[in-house]
Amino acid sequence: MQSAQGLFEAIRDKGSFLCVGLDPDPEKIPEAFGTDVAGMEAFCLAMVEATLPYAVAYKPNLAFFEQYGAEGWAALERVVDGIPSDVLVIADAKRGDIGNTATRYARAMFEGLGADAVTVAPYMGRDSVEPFTAFRDRWTVLLALTSNPSAADFEFHGERPLYREVLRQAATFANADRLMFVVGATRPAMLAEVREEAPDAFLLVPGVGAQGGTVAAVAEHGLTEQCGLLVNSSRGILYAAGLGASREACLEASAEAAQALAQDMKRALSAKGLL
Amino acid sequence: MQSAQGLFEAIRDKGSFLCVGLDPDPEKIPEAFGTDVAGMEAFCLAMVEATLPYAVAYKPNLAFFEQYGAEGWAALERVVDGIPSDVLVIADAKRGDIGNTATRYARAMFEGLGADAVTVAPYMGRDSVEPFTAFRDRWTVLLALTSNPSAADFEFHGERPLYREVLRQAATFANADRLMFVVGATRPAMLAEVREEAPDAFLLVPGVGAQGGTVAAVAEHGLTEQCGLLVNSSRGILYAAGLGASREACLEASAEAAQALAQDMKRALSAKGLL
């Protein structure tokens, strides 16, 4: 696992702050891989192979594995094992529970799976976050402002919007330096507000591509002196080739999609004088 | 799975609204069962056997299974299979994600595991709840007011506390009649406030026993004309016998602990004229 400094160095090395989301949807995986659990696993590992020159992080989405029960978990374990150890693995699990239970989830992700980071929901408060940040050399990625339309239902609740309250209180949690925050790219102007509360933290930013956000807008409002951003793309990379594409065509299209995003990122890093 | 009416009938039949939480902690499971995954599974099934006369629901806590990865999931699947189909199985997973991902989690719980209900976190709003309530004949148990000390961090945020906002908005979600709500027993007086927002909904109430809540206080503020309560106890029942107890002594102590809670419940139901 990487410190913030180590992560920044990896970002400079690759000229990219791309996180590739591994959401293996059986309805979208090219038929060449097969649509069973073995095909899903092979597809994920092929995506890692294709995009590795452009990615500093991978984010497997646990739901797509859990839907296959124990068999899916075993595939997830092998996918995580297949990701080189010098890139960050973020288990996108959005777990949120307290005390002893939270510690078990943290063990499942950090020790069982061997992930470097896990996404966590803040609803239950400090008790549901600190069991994760207690793990040395691991990142806890707390939901703050998500990219979905109904984020406004509760994340904007209150005179000070809840997502700002989450960012503010999180700074006082134990081992707060092990926190990153999820902030959606669909609301790039709000990144400036997020930076008022969390000036230096790394932000994991979904919503680029299929959901409408752009790398340039995110970089404009979110970049810090140590980059401070991981921008995630899932569907736009994974399913760049059609359902009927061959394995080779699929790898090529996904590599190109990742490269295009990485080029935007390189431009943004250069403009900020970070390369 | 049971409708609200079916659940009420089961509650009347057993004179109990007890939910037994299955949190198999390897550090607390009596040694007679063994502390590996097989022992954990055997322990859970023994607990179901011991408490079945007094329980209308079981709530396996997924963290305790996930910490063993694929092996733990396989054990969880067998435990759920081993619970008689006429009692409710609530997968305590506290999942919270959106759209397609939420649908995958819902399938994992309702179809893969075969649970009748799943706990869900509301942070991301309507989009993160409706993919669960879309499942006919299944319950979605939304976190509202939890029983942990730091619940106050965010659940009380805003002039109208967030937990009330969650209850209020949830009533407008699609298939809202398939919702239950988690409301902690450690704040029984607040159950009256919860009932202002959710007068008829079933509430899943943790925090009785080890965490300090009592059945009488919960019943006083929370009972409806169709009971409307499932009160959960985990540690107080599972670990009623000591670490060194025999299998038989363990079953006996847990049955007694469940029976004692069920007797309190029967009294409360009778006092309300529901039996």
Q: What is the mean pLDDT of chain B?
A: 96
Q: Do A121 and B94 touch (CB under 8 A)?
A: yes
Residues 84-123 of B with CB under 8 A from A: 94-102, 104-105, 107-108, 111-113, 121-123
Tally of structural domains, chain A: 1
The CATH number linked to B119 is: 3.20.20.70
Q: Which stretch of A43-52, B93-102, B209-218 has the lowest confidence by average pLDDT?
A: B209-218
Active site (annotated) includes residue B94: yes
| B176 near A CB under 8 A | no
ipTM of the complex: 0.96
Residue B42, pLDDT above cutoff 80: yes
Q: Which stretch of A108-112, A182-186, B107-111, B220-224 has the lowest confidence by average pLDDT?
A: A182-186
Express each pLDDT in B168-222 by its tens digit: 999 999 999 999 999 998 878 889 999 999 999 999 999 887 677 899 999 999 9
Q: Specify the pLDDT at position B35.
A: 82
Helices (H) and strands (E) in chain B, counts: 12, 8
* pTM of full prediction above 0.95: yes
Domain of A153 in residue numbering reads as: 4-271
Nearest CB to B64: which of A64, A104, A149?
A104
Q: Specify the pLDDT at position B213.
A: 84
| A153 near B CB under 8 A | yes
Long-range contacts (CB closer than 8 Å, 24 or more residues apart) made by B38-44: B38/B75, B40/B64, B40/B65, B40/B68, B40/B72, B40/B75, B41/B75, B41/B78, B41/B79, B43/B238, B44/B79, B44/B82
Q: Do A127 and B150 touch (CB under 8 A)?
A: yes
Express each pLDDT in B114-136 by its tens digit: 999 999 999 999 999 999 999 99
| A27 near B CB under 8 A | no
